[in-house]
Structure 1
């Protein structure tokens, strides 16, 4: 405790936040490696580069570690996917939205098929009995957040006449389903071909 008391309040808070983040990152790695039951706090502390008591100083128990580690990873993946969607901000100025939509499709497919994204989905489902709301929380912080941002971009494209008039939330859902659907059947679906196919099918339905 004494090491976290300092007259430099900003430095203390920053150091504590950095340690907490390191613990959450380490916990996610260990839980993804072993699952909930087989993971131990000692290994999480070693992965995070802190002492075992430090883990308990920041998070009270293994249950808190699991929930917060998965949620933090979901936030990170969601933020990365939102950055991809942001590429559509200037697309309304283009005469043909195919290229920017294809670029976004490639980026989203890369994010959703990443090792961390797969681990988040697996961990959220694996302990559904013990954490019944975790899958919904992960979905809110990843898929639903991305859908909302994408709907806003698609609405702007429709207003600019680059897409036909549509329900932007439904259009965003269709676009994302075309990308994420193959992941259920082909876990290695990460190629540019998959993104191009999704873009082509989407534009057949929503293109002008």
Structure 2
């Protein structure tokens, strides 16, 4: 048990160090020696865990996407079906964006863009670990709201993708790809506008809900 724990601790230390070195230097210039030194392990230990630098880089990107997705899904889990719909979606949208604005999240996105030419398939890997689980989770929450009569949605997967695009689509420009803080008023305007547009498309009016209750 102690040996297993030690191996897991070393793996985590290597991944954390690799993320910092890759972010600072890019894939080409990042050296396994520097990663090993920062992680506090011997260079052969890095190779024992990850075989080569490319495998390590891919793991850093996939794991980082998975962590961000987990934080966003946790935020989506807080949706209260009985709360005011506009206020609730606005609150949750802010939580989602807080996850996306994390230093790690933006660092990984910049790495992904920078290395897209070298790793043409990596984008799909990252989306499968990050974007897909988030859209699936949001689709489930939207389906629940639709079942409660709050939303009128035919395709919850498409609606979930549209919600994310509406509330977070301006983040790259507003934050200069995560290189500057987004002023609170700009962020709030973007979220409110996104939620408002989403609800104009999918919200069920109070009159319609009242009419259904009388049937």
- Confirm or deny a common fold (TM above 0.5): yes
Q: 1:123 aligns with which of 98, 111, 119?
A: 111
Q: How does 1:125-140 map to 2 (within 5 A)?
A: 125-140=113-128
TM-fit CA distance, 1:130: 3.1
Please tell me whether the aligned partners of residues 147 and 172 of structure 1 are also in contact (alpha carbons under 8 angstroms): yes
Q: Which residue of 2 aligns with 1:162?
A: 150
Gaps of 5+ in 2: 176-180, 205-215
* Alpha-carbon separation, structure 1, partners of 2:88 and 2:143: 15
Matched, 1:202 2:198: yes
* Alpha-carbon separation, structure 2, partners of 1:48 and 1:33: 15
Please tell me whether the aligned partners of residues 159 and 165 of structure 1 are also in contact (alpha carbons under 8 angstroms): no
Q: How does 1:165-204 map to 2 (within 5 A)?
A: 165-187=153-175, 188-189=181-182, 191-204=187-200
TM-fit CA distance, 1:148: 0.8
Q: Which residue of 1 aligns with 2:82?
A: 93
TM-score by length of 1: 0.87
TM-fit CA distance, 1:80: 1.0
* Alpha-carbon separation, structure 1, partners of 2:78 and 2:189: 20
Runs of 4+ in structure 1 off by over 3 angstroms are none
TM-fit CA distance, 1:92: 2.0
After superposition, the C-alpha distances for 1:119-168 in whole angstroms (9 at most, x for unaligned) are 22222232233322111111121122101100000010011011124321
TM-fit CA distance, 1:179: 2.2
| Alignment RMSD (CA, Å) | 1.7
Of 64-73 and 148-157, deviating more is: 64-73
TM-score by length of 2: 0.84
* Alpha-carbon separation, structure 2, partners of 1:32 and 1:140: 21
Please tell me whether the aligned partners of residues 20 and 58 of structure 1 are also in contact (alpha carbons under 8 angstroms): yes
Q: Which residue of 2 aligns with 1:4?
A: none
Q: Which residue of 1 aligns with 2:101?
A: 113
Please tell me whether the aligned partners of residues 105 and 196 of structure 1 are also in contact (alpha carbons under 8 angstroms): no
Q: Which residue of 1 aligns with 2:27?
A: 36
Please tell me whether the aligned partners of residues 168 and 191 of structure 2 are also in contact (alpha carbons under 8 angstroms): no
Gaps of 5+ in 1: 1-9
TM-fit CA distance, 1:73: 0.9
Of 74-83 and 43-52, deviating more is: 43-52
Matched, 1:23 2:14: yes
* Alpha-carbon separation, structure 1, partners of 2:148 and 2:141: 11
